[in-house]
A and B are shown apart, each in its own frame.
Chain A
Amino acid sequence: MITLDLLCARFSRLNVEDLQDWIAEGHVRPERAAGDLVFSELDVERVRLILELRDDMAVNEEALPVVLSLLDQLYELRRRLRAMGVEPDFTA
């Protein structure tokens, strides 16, 4: 769990206004503790993913929710497979 300040320190290309938008949109979902935001490892990596989608892959603001939604569905399926005891990565 890390704070907003540490998160901003970790990613130099992260801008607080963008983060606020992503939180408002529900793309990133930190928790609130003692008047500050706290980010789990999952949240931190999600921020990294969004930054890479935006900066390295030129996924723009309009496309970002589409990509994230598809990814969320993909990972949900993989989690369900795992929960059923199926290893999603098979080598054919």
Chain B
Amino acid sequence: MAEDPYKTLGIPREASTEAIRAAYRKLARKHHPDLNPGKPEAEAKFKAVSAANDLLSDPEKRARFDRGEIDADGQEQRPAGSYRQYAEQPTGAKYGARHGQRPEAEVFDDIFADIFEQRRRAESGPRRGRDESYRLAVPFLHAMEGATETLTLPDGRSLSVKIPPGVETGQVLRLRGQGGPGRNGGPAGDALIDLDVAEHSLFRREGFNLHLELPVTLREAVLGGPVLVPTPGGPLRVNLPEGSDTGRQIRLRGRGIAAHGKREAGDLLLTLRVLIGPADDALKTFLRDWKPEHPHDPRAGMEAAP
């Protein structure tokens, strides 16, 4: 909890606006951190003084504080006195002691006057509106297949945003003329839409291919057969070959990220994982009596590296 702002500024509670201002100025001059680079405690004091002033110099906030509606901490702190952090670095030499001269002043006038002149002219002439930036969250599959999303703008307008298939997080779509209005007959700015593609619980993207880990039962793995596979375009019947062990990859051509323009559709790569699930007595009995024709040791050649 910050100290009573009246105490911080050293003024009575009935102090006038002028008295507050005067007290603040006096203390700001004394404690401004850039004027006291050798006194680290000055920064904290200056912050306290500034916060007290921010509170008491605003009649509305002051009244609310006096009524007890807000406390002395109800203020956001503003950054102050960070010039010295830069000035103390070697690059600070740019503003070296000038010993009363202003050698470059005339040159500066010439070089920069026209920039300001251009600015003034630009302000009175037709001016293109500002580009406005927005963020749009896109569900994973909409980004893979392409979709049209609706973006509601802060001013209540809604924009229809056509998402081409294969977009990634960080990609920006530009909608011409949908940004800020132009001034003095200038054209409107653009809306820049920063896309944020969500992750998916099943599919993982790699380039324009998608990866899916597909659990299969022991029977499906050993005997093969038809299984139903979820794909971005909907469930697909896939015939597993016999002996589809864990780790086996199956490529479903053209079932990855949808084609767009000249780019062909990506593939969906299934990686199988055998999931035995709860074993019943029949399976246990079978395995106990089972004498494999080709016994093998899946751990052969496995040795812990030094």
CA distance A59 to B158 in the complex (A): 49
**Interface pair A79/B112, CB less than 8 Å apart:** no
Cβ-based interface call for B124 (8 A): no
> Which chain A residues numbered 43 to 58 have a C-beta less than 8 Å away from chain B?
45-46, 48-49, 52-53, 56-58
> Contacts of A49 on B, CB cut-off 8 Å?
34, 81, 83
In the complex formed, the residue of B with least CB distance to A41 is: B86
* CA–CA, A74 and B111, complex, Å: 29
The reply on B293 being an interface residue by CB < 8 A is: no
Interface of chain A residues 63 through 81 with chain B (CB within 8 A): 69, 71-76, 78-79
**B87 near A37 (CB under 8 angstroms)?**
no
Contact with B102, one of A25, A48, A79, A88 (Cβ below 8 angstroms): A25
B98 within 8 A of A: yes
Q: Is the CB of B87 within 8 A of A4?
A: no
B100 beta carbon closer than 8 Å to chain A: yes
B111: which A residues are within 8 A, CB to CB? Answer: 32
Q: Is the CB of A79 within 8 A of B104?
A: no
Q: Is the CB of B94 within 8 A of A29?
A: yes
The answer to whether B102 touches A56 (Cβ under 8 A) is: no
Interface: A86 (CB within 8 A)? no
B76 interface contact, C-beta 8 A? no
A24: contacting residue among B82, B89, B100, B109, CB under 8 A? B109
Q: Which of B37, B40, B115 contacts A37 (CB 8 A)?
A: B115
B195-230 with Cβ < 8 A to chain A: none
Query: Which of B21-29, B61-69, B181-189, B298-306 lines the interface with chain A?
Result: B21-29
Counting residue pairs across A and B whose Cβ atoms lie within 8 Å, the total is: 112
Query: Secondary structure at chain A's binding surface: helix, strand, loop or mixed?
Result: helix
Task: Give the number of residues in A that approach B within 8 Å (Cβ atoms).
Answer: 38
| B97 and A79 contact, CB distance less than 8 A | no
Q: Mark interface residues in B70-92 (1 if CB within 8 Å of A CB, else 0).
A: 00000000011111111111111
Q: Are A72 and B98 in contact (CB under 8 A)?
A: yes
Q: Which residues of A contact B286 (CB under 8 A)?
A: none
Chain B, Cβ-Cβ closest to A53? B32
* Chain B nearest CB, measured from A64 CB (Å): 13
Contact partners of B81 in chain A: CB under 8 A: 49, 52
Whether, in the assembled complex, A23 has its beta carbon less than 8 Å from a beta carbon of chain B, the answer is yes
Hey, which chain B residues are within 8 Å of A25, CB to CB? 102, 105
- Indicate if B38 sits at the interface (CB-CB under 8 A): yes
Contacts of A24 in B (CB 8 A): 105, 108-109, 112-113
Q: How far is the CA of A58 from the CA of B23 in the complex (A)?
A: 12
Residues B116 and A20 in contact, CB atoms below 8 Å apart: yes
Q: Is A1 at the interface (CB under 8 A from chain B)?
A: no
Out of B83, B108, B109, B118, name the residue touching A45 (CB < 8 Å). Answer: B83
- Which residues 19-40 of A have a CB within 8 angstroms of B? 20, 23-26, 29-30, 32, 35-37, 40
Smallest CB separation, A14 vs chain B (Å): 14
- Cβ of B135 < 8 Å from any Cβ of A? no
> Known contacts A24-B105, A69-B98, A79-B93: does B112 contact A37 (CB below 8 Å)?
yes
Distance (Å) between the CB of B121 and the closest chain A CB?
A: 13
- Identify the B interface with A (CB < 8 A): 24-25, 28-29, 32, 34-35, 37-38, 40, 50, 53, 79-98, 100, 102, 104-105, 108-109, 111-113, 115-116, 118-119
Listed in ascending order, the chain A residues whose CB lies under 8 Å from chain B are 4, 16, 20, 23-26, 29-30, 32, 35-37, 40-42, 45-46, 48-49, 52-53, 56-58, 69, 71-76, 78-79, 82-83, 88-89
